[in-house]
Structure 1
Amino acid sequence: MNCTLRYIILYVSDFDQAYTFYKDVLQLSVKMQQGTYVEFDTGQTTFAINTRDSVREEIGLIVPHETEKTATFEVAFTVEDVAQTIDILRAKGVQIIKEPVTKPWGQTVAYIADPDGHYIEICSEVGA
């Protein structure tokens, strides 16, 4: 078996808030949109959002109505300058969870939260 990760899809409560956050605040380019399903151009792995209601109605998956604002995973985006990116996001009112820190392996990481409380890691490339 040869599995390749191609999509990460977050289920969101408020489409407009999430769309604005990822498109305007994080400045991800929209690759494709069909109703409340939006794919962003993020390289080899596509990052997408869809509303919880849409997933329940159109796909038939059991999805809770609201999140408990607790994270059980994270999504990571690499940037050239983590500290500068965090300063820009802070100025836009984004919730900063963890300030930038350089890990023992040389990677700089920081954490923010999206409108649904999903943890988003903002980081440098490993070894950069």
Structure 2
Amino acid sequence: MNQNILVEGDAIIGVVVGVSQRNQTNRQTGEIYAITELGISQVVVDKYGNHQEHVTDVTVTNQQIKDGAMTKLNDLKGKKVIIPVWHRTYNTKNGNGGKTYYLTNDWDKTHYVIPQQQPMKAAS
């Protein structure tokens, strides 16, 4: 799957599928901490011409959570949006590159909800 089509500039376009939390363990200290992520679903076409759903996780910071982002993000569930992000790339153990996406600090002022299209009426 071509990852380049999932992110355009510094924004992700797709349908919000929800917000989730997962626990992560710090390998050096053993500390367990929560990571909160916003899921954005996108339909992509694979190399065989099949449509596949791909969910991109966007990390929500603890400060954004304290500032009330959870309620606002949950209100976007099921809506098609353009969400501003920034990313950090890293190398994995097997040598492949990884990428983590983060919600920008001004996302609540700069995101855009794409209006739903009304179904076309049949000709009479």
TM-score by length of 2: 0.26
Which is richer in strand?
A: 2
Greater Rg by CA: 2
More helix by share: 1
